[in-house]
Amino acid sequence: MFTRKTLKREVEIEGFGIHTGKFSKVKINSALNDGGKIVFLTKGERIEASYRNVVDLKRATTIGVNDKKIKTVEHMLSALYGLGVTDAVIEVVGEEIPVLDGSSKEFVEEVMKAGFEDFGKEAKVVKVVKPFRYENSDGAFIEVRPIDTEELVLKCSISYDYPSLRWQDLEIVFGRDTYINEIAPARTFCFYEEIAHLLRSGLGRGGNYRNVVVIGPKGIINGPPRFPDEPVRHKILDLIGDLSLLGAFLIGELLAHKNNHRLHVEFIKSFMESDCYKYL
Ligand SMILES: [Zn+2]
């Protein structure tokens, strides 16, 4: 049984956002919400962490209600989902969740230090009962299939027309220890050649050589990676963060190819309109 969990005490994290470059403060409070929810509070607005509240997907996932928004929620939500936290109220002062080291490692460490409280109540679970596939015109896709066990198996592959990063793939069985050790430390990445364009588009203003793995034609420019296949691991980190917007744990096999935030959320929306799942 998947049970609902919250934090034993609040956690405070601060830093600057990767896209805005602006300082923000986050306080994750323990909570027993109505039905197992992660809820953000900002400027007096309550924004549930749900795919229904996604308002922007340019290089990050932004959620919002009315004119109140919070950018780049995916790494923190990934940490909470990876650790099995279903209930929390997150106060945000600022526009964007801090990027920290570009991974979800510090969120994980702080939440682990706070500890967990298990309410002994069943968490929501979405089980895949029929295959479902969502793809876009670039050949990127996410496909889910039923599975015999009560697990989520994630298979992710990335491919680029780029000399030092042609292909990476990885398969994991989703679980707390796997998440902590294999996924959480993987940092976000970009290609050296796209930095100028990102900055011109008003993105990446808080990015630097400490919080982004910068990939050049001959390999990583800024020091050794944390894993030889760190980029695909970060893609799984992002995928898990966006999957948390389902508001439920997922059981099934999930294959993702060339995935990004837009694909994740478009997949979730169309999957939730399908008859390919049931709530346990
Ligand atoms: Zn990311």
The pLDDT value recorded for residue 180 is 98
Cβ atoms of 171 and 153 within 8 Å: the answer is yes
Domain map (residue ranges) of the chain: 3-122, 125-279
* Predicted model pTM: 0.97
Angle at 60 between CA 54 and CA 66, to 5 degrees: 30
pLDDT in tens, the chain (280 residues): 789 999 999 999 999 999 999 999 999 999 977 778 999 999 999 999 999 999 999 999 999 999 999 999 999 999 999 999 999 999 999 999 999 999 999 999 999 999 999 988 999 999 999 999 999 988 999 999 999 999 999 999 999 999 999 999 999 999 999 999 999 999 999 999 999 999 999 999 999 999 999 999 999 999 899 999 999 999 999 999 999 999 999 999 999 999 999 999 999 999 999 999 999 9
CATH architecture of 125-279: 2-Layer Sandwich (3.30)
Matching residue, tokens 């607005």: 45
CA 74 to ligand 1 center in whole angstroms: 7
Q: What spacing in Å lies between the alpha carbon of 150 and ligand 1's midpoint?
A: 27
- What pLDDT, on the 0 to 100 scale, is given for residue 161? 94
Question: How confident is the model at residue 197, as a pLDDT?
Answer: 92
pLDDT of residue 137: 84
Question: Domain 3-122, what architecture?
Answer: 2-Layer Sandwich (3.30)
CA–CA separation, 266 and 179 (whole Å): 24
Q: What is the DSSP letter of 71?
A: B
Distance (Å) from CA 188 to ligand 1 centroid: 5
Cα-to-centroid distance, 237 and ligand 1 (Å): 7
- How far, in Å, CA of 244 to CA of 41, rounded? 17
Distance 72 CA to ligand 1 centre (A): 8
Take residue 230 and report the two structure tokens written for it: 């760190």
> Which residues have a catalytic role annotated?
261
